[in-house]
Structure 1
Amino acid sequence: MVEQIREIAETYLGNFTKDVNLAEKLKSARTLDNCLEIYLTQTDSGKGRIQAQSTSGIIVGIIKSRDWSLCEGDVFITKSGKLLLIHLQEQRLMVLSFTEPVENHAIELVHLGHVLGNHHWPIIIKKNKIYIQLIIDAAIIEATIAKFKIPGLKIDYELRSPQEHFDFSHHSHHS
């Protein structure tokens, strides 16, 4: 049986960490049990249509533009008048680093970047590391990378909290 959405949220109120009045409103709503809370993945935070289960078990549908991603602390109001508080889960990333100099492997690295891009696997390059957002099974990405046989290429994983997550989107947040 498919669970029916019991709450719809499409009116964005802001982020309570940046708005003192909204923080007070949220505190009051929590006291009155008029607040729903959900935990989303970083990948889901950028979608235009999101379905999630609240911590109290209520199924919530969020409708928003895809040109911005939800952040930790964002607040919506549902059609029934409840506040909806967004939490983001830790972000698990694949991290590529190198144990050997890569100067002699520039062509392979360009080709790797091209393949990652063709698969639409979002990457960010920071401090000589390549971070890959895991939007599919990590084993598939690992198998693809292994085909390049780049000497010294090391694959690790890292967890990032919502406060230190990487935004793989090229879009800015709704203000």
Structure 2
Amino acid sequence: MLIVNAVSGNIYENAELAKKFQEVKQHGTFRRLLLSRIEMEKSRLRKKTEDGFDIGLALEPGKRLQHGDIILESSETILIEQLPEKTLTVKFKDSDPELFLLVGHIIGNRHRPISINNETISFPILDDSEMELFQRLFHEVIDKIDLTVDEQRFIPHVSMDVHEH
């Protein structure tokens, strides 16, 4: 088992590292570590890469992995990839600040992290049945919003540090 204490960088933030990774990728000599968003928040974790290589993460407390992080240890190159998850997206039909506040309040009461993009708010759900729950919770404003469920790599808004129940 490989014990990892640090991340070398991120291919989406470091152009030089991205170039080096492309060279390694061409030779097919890297491993992929697929992690859920919740697993990426942990500083201690034992997991196998896609090809079965055993890795133990022992990062400093508070360090969170990000999609695109690279681990360079001895002769190993490991790419961290975040798995997609089910998300519910609320699209607002009108630009109404009171509507934004009400929807944000309802989502916040469920302790969900959110992602804000243009006139939409997205948040993770565990099952399609939660669509019915949120339709009931949004009953007062359901004619002013569109709800859709899809699978995507969910990245919470940077200032949203909440825990899920």
Which TM-score band (shorter chain)?
Answer: 0.5 to 0.7
Aligned mate of 2:78, from 81, 84, 93 = 84
Structure 1 residue ranges without an equivalent (≥5): 1-5
State the Cα RMSD in Å.
3.7
Matched with 2:163 is: none
CA gap 1:9/1:27 in 2 versus in 1, 3 angstroms:
farther
Query: What is the distance in 2 between the residues matched to 1:140 and 1:25?
Result: 39
The number of equivalent residue pairs is: 156
Residue by residue, what CA displacement relative to the aligned partner does 1:118-163 show, whole Å, maximum 9, x if unpaired? 33201133222221133x3353364145234133133102444x6x
Give the deviation of 1:55 after TM superposition.
1.6
Query: What is the distance in 2 between the residues matched to 1:122 and 1:75?
Result: 25
Query: What is the distance in 2 between the residues matched to 1:146 and 1:114?
Result: 14
Query: What is the distance in 1 between the residues matched to 2:21 and 2:137?
Result: 53
Query: What is the distance in 1 between the residues matched to 2:122 and 2:28?
Result: 42
CA gap 1:84/1:93 in 2 versus in 1, 3 angstroms:
same
Matched with 1:156 is: 148
Matched with 1:3 is: none
Aligned mate of 2:121, from 130, 133, 150 = 130
Q: Deviation above 6 Å: which 4+ runs of structure 1?
A: none
Matched with 2:62 is: 66
Aligned: 1:46 with 2:37: no
Q: Would the aligned equivalents of 1:16 and 1:26 in 2 still touch at CA under 8 Å?
A: no
- Aligned to 1:12, the other structure's residue is in SS state coil
Residue by residue, what CA displacement relative to the aligned partner does 1:63-89 show, whole Å, maximum 9, x if unpaired? 3343544122x11245x7633221233
Give the deviation of 1:92 after TM superposition.
4.0
Residue by residue, what CA displacement relative to the aligned partner does 1:7-39 show, whole Å, maximum 9, x if unpaired? 322222112452536754785699595x43212
Q: Percent identity?
A: 16
CA gap 1:14/1:86 in 2 versus in 1, 3 angstroms:
same
- The TM-score with structure 1 as length reference comes to 0.63
